[in-house]
């Protein structure tokens, strides 16, 4: 792949945006270190400065804001690739987000550099790797804050229920394709395993005791409007992820009553599209606590209130991990969750298994932030 060039956006836009596009192909083109060679631009970068309205209660950038930027970058590059050949036009819809880790906090006033690269394609899906860097524009210092892998599927503009084929890519090494195929098969299996939970509903409980699941469980109801949607009438994946992060944050704050911060997001599965006009209910409940971290399950249900022919359905689900922080940003012990029902005890043991697996095979380097937060 040729070394990408930088194209700046027009002046006066509220956000600074840069797209990485390769110049004309040449015989001396250098292959990508991690991704395949493709004829269309295989990497983009979106940049913008973090403003006060991006902050969470602790004063850092809201995790949901970062998740939304990650999805926007992934949607741009995958939609561009899926329309790189002549044929039926399409839009790339988010199907799954692999585990996403918050390696370091991002501060207000810093510039977020969100870079996305296509790393694998199957017949009907695109894998995109996204990295987020924060830049202190006063000192020039940069640091890696987030890494994520997303999967998109191309939906026809004529019929958004029709999944189209993805243009193939050319890999610089055969191992890249083989490794990508293994990742594809693994995520496909995991998506199938999550569907059995689709009938599970978070029910309110009167006068719950502190530290129980019922005490901190929370729900948010949102009417999907035009500003939440793509030009084609269904919700941006990034909008859904930000709402899920907000609900998970409320659950964590209610449980420990301190400042909290997103540490990681386990795989987010998007089971079905959410259309404009739907009323969505985002529900969160605590499933597991370790000494210094909390796992929260978040479920998204969509109710097509303007279409009586459709019933309420499960649209997305995920597990978020939060940590409790002092005013100085140091990790605090988490009150231990008290599961009461058999279902809560079962979810607690499942969460414990995920936690132990994560500790055994951590997907991030042991950065200063993760050590301070107490999640490794």
Between 347 and 5, the more confident residue is 347
pLDDT by residue (tens digit) across 232-246?
A: 889 999 999 999 999
% residues pLDDT > 70 (the chain): 82
Task: Summarize the confidence of residues 198-223 as an average pLDDT.
Answer: 86
Of the candidates 129, 136, 98, the residue with the CA atom closest to the CA atom of residue 115: 129
Report the number of distinct structural domains present in the chain: 2
CA–CA gap between residue 304 and residue 135 (Å, rounded): 42
**Would the pLDDT of 31 be above 50?**
no
pLDDT by residue (tens digit) across 261-288?
A: 999 998 899 999 999 999 999 999 999 9
From 142, 171, 193, give the residue that closes a domain.
Answer: 193
Specify whether 158 is located in the same domain as 305.
Answer: no
CA–CA gap between residue 102 and residue 288 (Å, rounded): 19
CA–CA gap between residue 260 and residue 43 (Å, rounded): 33
Specify whether 176 is located in the same domain as 263.
Answer: no
Specify whether 182 is located in the same domain as 235.
Answer: no
From 171, 193, 215, give the residue that closes a domain.
Answer: 193
Per-residue pLDDT band for 109 (boundaries 50, 70, 90) equals very high
Tell me, yes or no, whether 143 lies in a domain: yes
245 has catalytic annotation: yes
Per-residue pLDDT band for 223 (boundaries 50, 70, 90) equals very high
Specify whether 309 is located in the same domain as 267.
Answer: yes
Specify whether 219 is located in the same domain as 116.
Answer: no
* Helix, strand, coil abundance in the chain, percent, nearest 5: 25, 35, 40
- How much is the pLDDT for 86? 87
DSSP secondary structure code for residue 227 in this structure: G
Specify whether 345 is located in the same domain as 265.
Answer: yes
**Would the pLDDT of 354 be above 60?**
yes
56 has catalytic annotation: yes
280: Cα within 13 Å, side-chain hemisphere: 26
Specify whether 116 is located in the same domain as 189.
Answer: yes
CA–CA gap between residue 236 and residue 273 (Å, rounded): 9
Identify the active-site residue in 37, 54, 56, 60.
56
From 193, 222, 253, give the residue that closes a domain.
Answer: 193
Specify whether 166 is located in the same domain as 237.
Answer: no
Q: What is the CATH number of the domain that holds 288?
A: 3.10.129.10
Specify whether 137 is located in the same domain as 119.
Answer: yes
Domain that holds residue 143: 41-193
Tell me, yes or no, whether 159 lies in a domain: yes
Long-range contacts (CB closer than 8 Å, 24 or more residues apart) made by 191-196: 191/95, 191/96, 191/269, 194/269, 194/271, 194/317, 195/271
Identify the active-site residue in 37, 101, 228, 245.
245
CA–CA distance from 69 to each of 63, 318, 371 (Å)?
Answer: 10, 18, 25
Answering whether pTM is above 0.75, one says yes
Specify whether 154 is located in the same domain as 92.
Answer: yes
Specify whether 208 is located in the same domain as 327.
Answer: yes
Tell me, yes or no, whether 247 lies in a domain: yes
User: Token digits for 41?
Assistant: 């631009």
């Amino acid at each position: 792949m040729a070394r990408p060039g930088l194209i700046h956006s027009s002046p006066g836009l509220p956000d600074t945006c840069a797209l990485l596009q390769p110049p004309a192909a040449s015989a001396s083109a250098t292959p990508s270190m991690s991704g395949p060679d493709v004829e269309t631009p295989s990497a983009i970068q979106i940049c913008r400065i973090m403003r006060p309205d991006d902050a969470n209660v602790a004063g850092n950038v809201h995790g949901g804001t970062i998740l939304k930027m990650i999805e926007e970058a992934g949607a741009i590059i995958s939609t561009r690739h899926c329309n790189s050949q002549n044929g039926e036009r399409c839009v790339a819809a988010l199907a799954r987000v692999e585990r996403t880790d918050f390696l370091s906090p991002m501060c207000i006033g810093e510039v977020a550099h969100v870079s996305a690269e296509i790393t694998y394609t199957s017949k009907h899906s695109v894998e995109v790797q996204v990295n987020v860097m924060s830049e202190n524009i006063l000192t020039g210092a940069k640091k890696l804050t987030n890494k994520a892998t997303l999967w998109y599927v191309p939906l026809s503009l004529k019929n958004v229920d029709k999944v189209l084929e993805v243009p193939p890519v050319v890999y610089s090494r055969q191992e890249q394709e083989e490794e990508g195929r293994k990742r594809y098969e693994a995520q496909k299996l995991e998506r199938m395993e999550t569907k059995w939970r689709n009938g599970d509903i978070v029910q309110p409980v009167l006068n719950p005791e502190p530290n129980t699941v019922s005490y901190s469980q929370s729900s948010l109801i949102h009417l999907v409007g035009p500003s939440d949607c793509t030009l084609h009438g269904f919700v941006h994946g990034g909008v859904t992820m930000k709402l899920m992060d907000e609900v998970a944050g409320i659950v964590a704050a209610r449980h420990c009553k301190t400042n909290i911060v997103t540490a990681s997001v386990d795989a987010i599965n998007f089971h079905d599209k959410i259309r404009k006009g739907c009323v969505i209910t985002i529900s969160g409940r605590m499933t597991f606590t370790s000494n210094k971290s909390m796992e929260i399950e978040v479920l998204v249900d969509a109710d097509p209130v303007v279409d009586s022919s459709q019933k309420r359905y499960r649209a997305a689900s995920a597990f978020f991990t939060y940590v409790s922080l002092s005013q100085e940003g140091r990790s605090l012990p988490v009150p231990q969750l008290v599961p009461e029902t058999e279902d809560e005890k079962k979810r607690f043991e499942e969460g414990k298994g995920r936690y132990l697996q994560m500790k055994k095979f951590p997907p991030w380097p042991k950065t200063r932030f993760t050590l301070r937060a107490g999640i490794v």
